[in-house]
Amino acid sequence: MRFITHGEKTNKPIMLIHGMANTSDLFDPILPYLTDYYVIVCELDGHSKEEPGVFASVSDAAEKLEKYVKESLDGGLYGLLGFSLGGTIATEIISRGVMEVEKTILDAAFVIKMGLMTYPFKLLFQGSIWCIKQGIHIPKGLVESIMGKGNSGIVDTLYKGVSLKSIGNAGLSCYTYMVKEGLGDYPGSVEFWHGSNEPYPVKSARLLKEYLPQMETVVYDNMGHGQMLHEHPEEYAKRMVAFLEAK
């Protein structure tokens, strides 16, 4: 796992965790708006252009992040933002309570068990990445049926170098994820973000609200999965800063 830092270490530390088949590059457009913070961008195993590896599971990633924070940041973060798979990992982190996190943003975290659809979805994502690797066009209708209407451009954010094994492991870990009872003990501020055109995160938000009554839900109109981040990074970053600076 790779950690890329930006800014002065004396500033409040915030960590960003990207989604499945992304790299740290996903967050590059919002970094100019976060200069008042010490930003740590986590690049997950199997998703790095610089380091080899295979993504194992949500819990494995959470443990490695906790180890880094304990050794490098005295065991605590001011802010944590996880997108998609990263949001599931962030949910796991605040559930475990191993490290202190004052404020958490869960952007389209996936915490709904897929049941019988687990393996079909895993194979679908593996097949999609295989097509991207081969330069095979993925039909717009198929992309939008999963990622949200008007969001076919999200394909351009995906990392061709990710291994199919990493995608398979990430998919299985996400689609079978079980929310921990410890999540209800998290005392920090939480926002859950998702686009109005996303079919699944709204279910995640509903479930998480049962554990986190303090959680606020922010819905981006006419947006699909990750669309606000990759198409409107300035607005995305400003919303993030407003949450971090709120009393």
Distance in angstroms (rounded) separating the CA atoms of residues 113 and 178: 7
User: What is the per-residue pLDDT for 77?
Assistant: 98
Contact 40, 4 (CB under 8 A): yes
Alpha carbon separation from 125 to 60, 72, 158 (Å, rounded) = 21, 34, 11
**Entry pTM:** 0.95
pLDDT tens track for 163-193 = 999 999 999 999 999 999 999 999 999 999 9
Q: Please list the alpha-helical segments (H only) found in the chain.
A: 58-72, 85-96, 118-134, 140-147, 164-175, 201-211, 227-231, 233-245
The answer to whether residues 65 and 89 touch, using CB atoms and an 8 Å cutoff, is yes
Distance of CA 245 to the CA centre of its chain: 21
Q: Which domains does the chain have, with CATH numbers?
A: 2-245 (3.40.50.1820)
Q: What is the mean pLDDT of the chain?
A: 94
Q: List, for the chain, all residue ranges whose pLDDT scores fall below the cut of 50.
A: none
